[in-house]
Amino acid sequence: MLDAREFIRAKRDGRRHAAEDVRVFVAACQRREIPDYQVSAWLMAAFLNGLDEGETEALTLALLHSGRMFDWSGLGRPAADKHSTGGVGDKVSLILAPLVASCGVLVPMVSGRGLGHTGGTLDKLESIPGFRTTLPPDALRAQLDAIGVVMVGQGPDLAPADGLIYALRDVTATVEREYFIVPSIVSKKVAEGADALVYDVKCGSGAFMKTREDAGRLARRLIAVTRSLGRRAAARVTDMSQPLGVASGNALEVRESVEVLRGGGPADVRELTLELAAAMLTLAGAAADLAVARGTALRALESGAAWERFLALVRAQGGDTASVERPDGLAAAPVVRAVKAERSGVLSEVDAFGLGELVVAIGGGRIAKEDAVDPRVGLMVRKRLGEPVRAGETLAELHLASDDAAAAARAAACFRVGGSGAAPALVLERVE
């Protein structure tokens, strides 16, 4: 029996854990033998004192083997997936998963909830009334066979220990470390049974990795660990110096995803979705090269095939399809407050981290583990970096559960108008 106090003390004092101790600790967490406060204390000790490569590998394996390993080879089609390291307004998964499935590749997508200042795919999906984000293994297989896509979270069968630790990291300020991020992502993605994994490594003020150097290193590490577990992997380092698209907040992002699936929506969301779809289709062996794959993905989007597959996914997981078919079908916030520019100039800087934290603070994420998220709240960012802005123009709209002038002031402080600024490139690096 592991003495959790000794395990915490070892890391607090900067000592290295033996792989077996990491395995025993994670297994005990999973059996709920270690209370949240001790897991959290260890997380903070490790956040501050680090885990080396061996400890990171041990954590990855322990999380991976905390549940079952799924295998879809019997379904006769390649299985691929994408995972983002987390950003603000990043709703790409909602569009990408049905899109790639409609191109003939299985997408057994396992996602997370909001993490720190970033939004989570599961919270977004749950703003669709009735949508279930856990499925028993048999149902998962049957759905994947029937429509080629599932979108679920870590559950009792699938990397459950990641689910527990992830929920604690979210609320204990222990998120942005490579040695936590790599095990968390790779464990659930390998467990879900995808053969080919594309990582979207976010970089900039709204990402966990603020610099190109850190983001590039995380991309290479994700690829290396994934390949060491026998899966194909590639990555894109992409811009997160401003929120992706217009909407940030759960129901607002579902609405924007629907717009893209129906052929409209913001250009950056559409472009990033096509970039990642091409990478997935190529890596899965369903297209000869990236250009061919992009053409396939574009046709699926423009023909309505991806949208039809999204509706099939919502239906299969118990969601109310009418709520996404009608523009006003999802719950809306009762108060909308405009955030205006005080001066004219070019939008030169956006504090995307601050905007993500604001969405959490107004109810779109969790401050404590037990919190419920309010699907209605969030923000619509109307100006992009490098765009000219006139004094009095709307920079953003805040969607609130009740009027909140302080939140609007906080949002305004996240935009800098003046000086020089240019639109950043969306894809910063391709790591094949």
CB 280 → ligand URA: shortest distance, Å?
Answer: 17
CB 145 → ligand URA: shortest distance, Å?
Answer: 26
CB 202 → ligand URA: shortest distance, Å?
Answer: 9
Which ranges constitute the DSSP H helices of 102-245?
A: 121-125, 137-147, 160-171, 178-191, 212-228
CB 245 → ligand URA: shortest distance, Å?
Answer: 19
Rounded to whole angstroms, how far apart are CA atoms 33 and 36? Answer: 9
CB 34 → ligand URA: shortest distance, Å?
Answer: 20
Q: Is 184 a catalytic residue?
A: yes
Rounded to whole angstroms, how far apart are CA atoms 78 and 148? Answer: 10
Is the Cβ–Cβ distance between 245 and 378 less than 8 Å?
no
Lookup result for tokens 């033998």: 33
Lookup result for tokens 């809306």: 332
Query: Active site residue: 66, 84, 184, 323, which one?
Result: 184
Q: Is 404 a catalytic residue?
A: no
CB 131 → ligand URA: shortest distance, Å?
Answer: 19
Nearer of residues 198 and 347 to ligand URA, judged by Cβ: 198
Nearer of residues 120 and 245 to ligand URA, judged by Cβ: 120
Q: Is 217 a catalytic residue?
A: no
Q: Is 188 a catalytic residue?
A: yes
Query: Active site residue: 17, 124, 188, 309, which one?
Result: 188
Query: Active site residue: 23, 82, 83, 232, which one?
Result: 83
CB 211 → ligand URA: shortest distance, Å?
Answer: 17
| Distances, alpha carbon 172 to alpha carbons 308, 352, 421, in Å | 40, 20, 35
Rounded to whole angstroms, how far apart are CA atoms 177 and 151? Answer: 26
Note the residues at the interface with ligand URA (CB under 6 A): 85-86, 112, 115, 180-181, 184-185
Lookup result for tokens 């909001």: 114
Work out the number of other CB atoms within 10 angstroms of the CB of residue 403: 12
Q: Is 162 a catalytic residue?
A: yes
**Chain residue at closest Cβ approach to ligand URA:** 184
Nearer of residues 239 and 259 to ligand URA, judged by Cβ: 239
Residues 6+ apart with CB under 8 A from 259: 265
Residues 6+ apart with CB under 8 A from 53: none
Buried b (16+ CB within 10 A) or exposed e, 407-432: bbebbeebbebeeebeebeeebeeee
Nearer of residues 102 and 187 to ligand URA, judged by Cβ: 187
Query: Active site residue: 90, 162, 170, 200, which one?
Result: 162
Query: Active site residue: 124, 141, 169, 337, which one?
Result: 169
Nearer of residues 101 and 185 to ligand URA, judged by Cβ: 185
Nearer of residues 42 and 180 to ligand URA, judged by Cβ: 180
Nearer of residues 159 and 362 to ligand URA, judged by Cβ: 159
Nearer of residues 220 and 326 to ligand URA, judged by Cβ: 220
Handedness of CA 214, 219, 220, 225 (dihedral sign): positive
CB 102 → ligand URA: shortest distance, Å?
Answer: 25
Is the Cβ–Cβ distance between 199 and 231 less than 8 Å?
no
Rounded to whole angstroms, how far apart are CA atoms 362 and 271? Answer: 29
Is the Cβ–Cβ distance between 151 and 83 less than 8 Å?
no
| 2 burial level (CB within 10 Å; 0-12, 13-18, 19+) | middle
Active site members: 83, 162, 169, 184, 188
